[in-house]
Structure 1
Amino acid sequence: MSTATVATVPRRRRWFRWLLALPFLFGAASILQVVVLRFVDPPFTAFMAARVIEAWGQGEFGFRVAYDWRDLDRMAPSLPLSMVAAEDQNFAIHHGFDLGAIEKARVHNRKMVERAEKRGRPVTRLRGASTISQQVAKNLFLWQGTNRVSRWARKGLEAWYTVLIETLWPKRRILEVYANVAEFGDGVYGGQAAARSYWGKDAGRLTANESARLAAVLPSPRRYNAHRPGPYVQRRAAGIQRQVRQIGGVAYLEALQ
């Protein structure tokens, strides 16, 4: 065996050991990320960074996101309550994944696909089943999948971060982060930025109707407008206000751990 061959074998072994170590290094780094963000308010999110990069790529170099953190107890209770009512009514009792909602969405989407195929039209009105915990994981750490491989990779990472968030954060912290990083309009992130942008007020002074309108545009904030709501947003907002009463109102937040 030549000297070059002998030198190559240890080098290959080192690379192999590094490859084996990568999953453990990623796991440790992601756990540290989530632990830190339990106590430190995120200065930005992956989705915010992606939106800025997208705007710059389109030549909009002056584009800036609107983002201003507010602690949960400084927001009007109607906002987080409306978000729970609109997005995840089992938030207090599930552990990151709502299996019942996933099954309902699967059945609904299968019917929509079958109906579209019979009519020869594109599929519309598909239903998602992401929980608030999954939304937090996606917004903070991940990206929008642009192809099948990317989407599956993102889904796997989303599940991992969701488990970490549910394990390491209390429910109130999860809801607090979501109310601050959810997109309520193009480049408008969080309840405080939305309240300032649309009504010129602090998030602590949002009315029940305004909060419901903000929740009503989720998860399509660039399609619908909370400030100038059309018929769909108005109907959905009215339904959200009814759901807020049904889940218990302010008592619901007080019971969250």
Structure 2
Amino acid sequence: MAKRISPKKSTRTKFRNLTRLLGKVILWFLITTLVWVIALRFINPPITYLMLHRGVERKLDGKEWKIERKWIAVEDLSDNLKKAAIAGEDVNFLQHWGFDFKAMENAFEKNQSSRRVIGGSTISQQTAKNVFLWPGRTYVRKAFEAYFTALIELLWSKERILEVYLNVIETGDGLYGAEAASKKYYNKSAASMTKAQAALLVAVFPNPRRWTPARPTSYIYRKQSLILRNMRRLGKLPF
């Protein structure tokens, strides 16, 4: 005669099996993402989800496929550009550990009384989002962004974070990275960008498909001036 299994014991067994499965999934996720982040410390990301997403958008709009980018090593990037990026996007980049809570608080307060949305993300957060994730503002994506931000701060140097950031960031319609943008807008390499050119390029980073260094608005010129002032306060970079 077959032995009957009580409902309580069956439920406990199912719970244990589910817990084991969940544990395996979490372990697999941690190992995979750890290896991924470590690999990209040494290997330049070949493409990002955003690049593919924008490419598909262009095709759906009846435009040609376009992903223009050229990697340039951090040591070859203009010091003016590196300073401008920090001065314009994350003035405390060299001091924080991935998150600037004061900047987030200030951005939140300003957004309550302004129609223009101000971001409070650090360069590290933007790099994590651009390289490892998809566009969006959901809490799930934000949680993954925080996780990958912590990982790259732990496993990459600040120099590497800035290098990747300046090489994958969207800089125009179908343009990615500072080198492609510099060639497009200034007809020169990002290695020789002037202070004014670097500040103007960084001024359009928040929305490069709306704004362009080729036709700056009065708002972009004001941002450029602010970035130039912040650049003077930064002093010499450690890399």
TM-score, L = length of structure 2 = 0.89
Deviation digits for residues 13-35 of structure 1 (CA, Å, limit 9, x no counterpart): 87764343112111111111110
Deviation digits for residues 143-197 of structure 1 (CA, Å, limit 9, x no counterpart): 122xxxx711110100000000000001011111111111111111111111111
Matched residue count: 231
Which range moves more in the overlay, 50-59 or 228-237? 50-59
Write the letter of the residue equivalent to 2:150.
V
Q: Is residue 2:152 matched to residue 1:165?
A: yes
Alignment of 1:78-227 (within 5 A): 78-112=80-114, 124-145=115-136, 151-227=138-214
For 2:17 and 2:49, locate their aligned partners in 1 and report how far apart those are by CA, in whole Å: 32
**The residue matched to 1:184 in structure 2 has which SS?**
strand
Question: Where do 5+ consecutive residues of structure 2 fail to align?
Answer: 4-10
Identity across the alignment (%): 40
Deviation digits for residues 191-221 of structure 1 (CA, Å, limit 9, x no counterpart): 1111111222111121111111110002111
Deviation at 1:11, TM superposition (A): 10
**The residue matched to 2:171 in structure 1 has which SS?**
strand
**The residue matched to 1:165 in structure 2 has which SS?**
helix
TM-score, L = length of structure 1 = 0.83
**The residue matched to 1:67 in structure 2 has which SS?**
coil
Deviation digits for residues 97-148 of structure 1 (CA, Å, limit 9, x no counterpart): 0011111122222334xxxxxxxxxxx1222110000000000011122xxx
Write the letter of the residue equivalent to 2:187.
G
8 Å contact kept, 1:38–1:169: yes
Deviation at 1:71, TM superposition (A): 0.5
> Which residue of 2 is the match for residue 5 of structure 1?
none
> Which residue of 1 is the match for residue 217 of structure 2?
230
**The residue matched to 1:66 in structure 2 has which SS?**
coil
Q: Which of 24, 43, 46 is equivalent to 2:27? A: 24
**The residue matched to 2:138 in structure 1 has which SS?**
helix
Q: Is residue 2:48 matched to residue 1:45?
A: yes
Write the letter of the residue equivalent to 1:75.
L
For 2:97 and 2:15, locate their aligned partners in 1 and report how far apart those are by CA, in whole Å: 42
Deviation at 1:38, TM superposition (A): 0.6
For 1:245 and 1:188, locate their aligned partners in 2 and report how far apart those are by CA, in whole Å: 28
8 Å contact kept, 2:38–2:155: yes
Question: Where do 5+ consecutive residues of structure 1 fail to align?
Answer: 3-8, 113-123
8 Å contact kept, 2:56–2:65: no
> Which residue of 1 is the match for residue 68 of structure 2?
66
For 1:13 and 1:59, locate their aligned partners in 2 and report how far apart those are by CA, in whole Å: 52
For 1:233 and 1:108, locate their aligned partners in 2 and report how far apart those are by CA, in whole Å: 18
